[in-house]
Structure 1
Amino acid sequence: MIKPEKLNKGDTVGIIAPASPPNESKLNKALSFLEELEVNVKLGTSIRQRFGYLAGDDESRLKDLHTMFRDPSIKAIICACGGYGTGRIAGKIDYSLLKKHPKIFWGYSDITFLHTAIHQQTGLVTFHGPMLSSDIGKEDVHDLTKESFKQLFQLDQLKYDETISPLTVLAAGSAEGRLIGGNLALLTSTLGTKYEVDTKNKLLFFEDIDEEPYRVDRMLNQLHMAGKLEEAAGILVCDFNGCEPKNREESLTLEEVINDYVIRVNRPAIMGFKIGHSKPNFAIPVGAKAKMETRNKEVVIESGVK
């Protein structure tokens, strides 16, 4: 495991869009938030490009990623938004470059593919956290969403319990291991590739947005058949925003679907974490060691920086 160096006031943060293009007005609003954190900002060259649903072609987005990791003046890389496209560049990334120049890498949603690939290819701890255009640039941003960025400046451990959101125990017990996971659709899309998510002895977390229960069923079934749920030491079920039945008169509920798969594997499991497409969006370090305890309904996570 490699931890990146923590941020200090006055450091420079690189902003890239490795998937879809950001909303410019929301991005500009979010940049003022970074000024409040007292860091400098350097925008990637493809951040304002458009190539269909992508922020520039694959080579442009890949070049931005490599440039930001290579540039010694850049101390952290924050993704402007998700959308679609990171899986298209994952096979072209120079992972030896990233390992040679480890630094903070932050984002979620479609960025899940990069979190999984980078961690498994390099051992670098990355951060599943709120993005600029997608979250910080909105009109009403939860204070805890903004406060999540503080973990980049300090070495304190994180604690998630019911002071943040109501939690439901799906399967009792305690478990510990490195945190791995992210967006359910993206985790499923890694299966069968060289970047297939490794859940063995890990604490697996997953979330999603605007997926009907039958689609969540399909994805969890695929993870289950691939052995990914059974191999996990414990499971954190995070936010599923807008995942109610929409086009089917008869449907299982989201809770019925999740319970069916999670309870059957008999791993310690808690549901209700505001991690992902949620309000607040609580950031966590992917690859960091963590311990979950269902008796106290809490997860304690070590700092993702050094």
Structure 2
Amino acid sequence: MTPDINPSRRQLLQMLALGAGAGILQGCSSMSSPAQPSQASLRLYLTACSGIVPEKQRQLALPRLAHAGFSLENAAALNRVYQRFSGTDTERLSDLQTLLDQPQWPQLIMAGRGGYGAMRLLPRLDLARLGARLKESRSLLIGYSDFCAIQLALLAKSGAGSFAGPMLGDFGSATPNAYAINEFIAGISTPQRSLRIAGSQPQARGEGIFWGGNLSVLSSLAGTPYLPDIKGGLLFLEDVGEQPYRVERMLQQLHLAGVLGKQKAIFLGDFSMQRHVDVYDPHYNFDAVVAELRRISGVPVFTGLPFGHIAAKTTMPLGFPARFQAEGDGVTLQFLDYPTVDASAIQIPALLAERPI
């Protein structure tokens, strides 16, 4: 389902500049002397709490971010390799714990990639202090996939919200996605932002805490102290690489744990269902999963949220209030009362350059 986004005036101006800006950057990339980075306007602290960050992604993403105007911190952590992880548990733990010793936090804290490993860190993270500092500094903690284990744990233990959005790998694509880049800049800098999802949807409206993340990670936290106990919330879910019956099984787990019935609504992002055939029944598909979810949860279930393991993803506050209004032809989400940063000096064309300057 294709999302219908109503861009702000700033977004429209940025989009109009993309074509000309990308052409200029491609020309610059062929010069013998590299261009100098633009004056940094935002401190971006990088973490590697899960899987190994591929070298190719680092080589493309880091120059793009630097030339766009981000001042990169802790980038050396992205080079670590231990077994299947981006460093030992102690090394990966230090990425976030080290922040506690910093008197002034960076405006942005971003995950390197997903995979697996964040869950192993939860018992050793000082979640209460990290959450308190995150709220005090109004820094934006950004990521998704496996990293949402840390985001959910912070929400559960301290009430600190974060942002579901791109990680370093999204900026390290061979061909950066213009929608995702523009959504990222708009998402971190625009207060009271709205997202419109077109398509046939059940009629409903409501307000609550917008929270959730990767279904596999979220279901694995059920029954632990690291899953937030959100009543009357707006739960969003996404996943990748799972057959339909496995998706339903995880949803059933959340249902039996009492999570689904507490929500006011459920929003489904991308599940890559078009690439997976159920091993037991090839006719059992995403529509069947959605129908079962509606039956067991008893709350409105909306599909088509542009988020997940896809290139064209949006950026959304996680753990902050939101309201929704759904009519027959779509649903509008409005996000409320979340921190933002001034991203006016960020050079979007530099983030879209196929070859970093």
Correspondence for 1:146 among 181, 184, 188: 181
- After the TM superposition, which residues 32-111 of structure 1 pair with which residues of structure 2 at under 5 Å, given as runs? 32-71=63-102, 72=104, 74-102=106-134, 103-111=139-147
Structure having the larger proportion of residues in helix = 2
Whole-Å Cα distance in 1 between the matches of residues 298 and 281 of structure 2? 31
Q: Paired residues, what number?
A: 294
Residue 29 of structure 1: CA displacement? 1.0
Counterpart position of 2:227:
196
The alignment's C-alpha RMSD in Å is 2.1
Whole-Å Cα distance in 1 between the matches of residues 245 and 92 of structure 2? 33
Residue 278 of structure 1: CA displacement? 1.8
The runs of at least 4 consecutive aligned structure 1 residues that moved more than 6 Å come to none
AA paired with 1:305? P
AA paired with 1:219? M
Whole-Å Cα distance in 2 between the matches of residues 73 and 281 of structure 1? 27
What is the SS of the residue equivalent to 1:245?
A: coil
Correspondence for 1:129 among 165, 180, 200: 165
Q: Which of structures 1 and 2 has the bigger CA Rg?
A: 2
Q: State the TM-score, normalized to the length of structure 1.
A: 0.89
- Contact kept, 8 Å, 1:21 with 1:55, in 2: the verdict is yes
Summarize the Cα distance change of 1:176–1:14 in structure 2 as closer, same or farther, 3 Å threshold.
same
Counterpart position of 1:157:
192
**1:301 counterpart = 2:321:** no
Between stretches 238-247 and 22-31, larger displacement belongs to: 238-247
Residue 274 of structure 1: CA displacement? 1.0
- Contact kept, 8 Å, 2:156 with 2:225, in 1: the verdict is no
Kindly provide the CA deviation profile for residues 91-119 of structure 1, in whole angstroms up to 9, marking residues without a partner as x.
11112331342122110000111111011
Correspondence for 1:112 among 144, 148, 155: 148
Correspondence for 1:228 among 259, 262, 269: 259
Summarize the Cα distance change of 1:69–1:27 in structure 2 as closer, same or farther, 3 Å threshold.
farther
Residue 9 of structure 1: CA displacement? 5.6
Whole-Å Cα distance in 1 between the matches of residues 188 and 217 of structure 2? 29
Kindly provide the CA deviation profile for residues 135-193 of structure 1, in whole angstroms up to 9, marking residues without a partner as x.
2211222212111322465242221114xxx4341x43112101110000001000111
Summarize the Cα distance change of 1:153–1:254 in structure 2 as closer, same or farther, 3 Å threshold.
closer
What is the SS of the residue equivalent to 2:124?
A: coil
What is the SS of the residue equivalent to 1:99?
A: helix
Correspondence for 2:212 among 178, 181, 204: 181
AA paired with 2:332? E
Gaps of 5+ in 2: 1-38, 341-357
Counterpart position of 1:3:
none
Between stretches 178-187 and 238-247, larger displacement belongs to: 238-247
What is the SS of the residue equivalent to 1:34?
A: helix
Gaps of 5+ in 1: 1-7
- After the TM superposition, which residues 202-281 of structure 1 pair with which residues of structure 2 at under 5 Å, given as runs? 202-242=233-273, 244-245=276-277, 247-248=279-280, 250-281=282-313
Whole-Å Cα distance in 1 between the matches of residues 55 and 76 of structure 2? 14
Whole-Å Cα distance in 2 between the matches of residues 249 and 219 of structure 1? 18
What is the SS of the residue equivalent to 1:84?
A: coil
Summarize the Cα distance change of 1:251–1:215 in structure 2 as closer, same or farther, 3 Å threshold.
farther
Summarize the Cα distance change of 1:176–1:124 in structure 2 as closer, same or farther, 3 Å threshold.
same
Structure having the larger proportion of residues in strand = 1
Summarize the Cα distance change of 1:197–1:259 in structure 2 as closer, same or farther, 3 Å threshold.
farther
Counting aligned pairs with the same residue, the percent is 27
What is the SS of the residue equivalent to 1:220?
A: helix
Counterpart position of 2:34:
none
Residue 45 of structure 1: CA displacement? 4.6
Residue 272 of structure 1: CA displacement? 0.6
Residue 73 of structure 1: CA displacement? 5.2
Summarize the Cα distance change of 1:62–1:48 in structure 2 as closer, same or farther, 3 Å threshold.
same
What is the SS of the residue equivalent to 1:293?
A: strand
Summarize the Cα distance change of 1:285–1:73 in structure 2 as closer, same or farther, 3 Å threshold.
closer
Between stretches 172-181 and 183-192, larger displacement belongs to: 172-181
- Contact kept, 8 Å, 1:14 with 1:77, in 2: the verdict is yes
- Contact kept, 8 Å, 1:190 with 1:197, in 2: the verdict is no
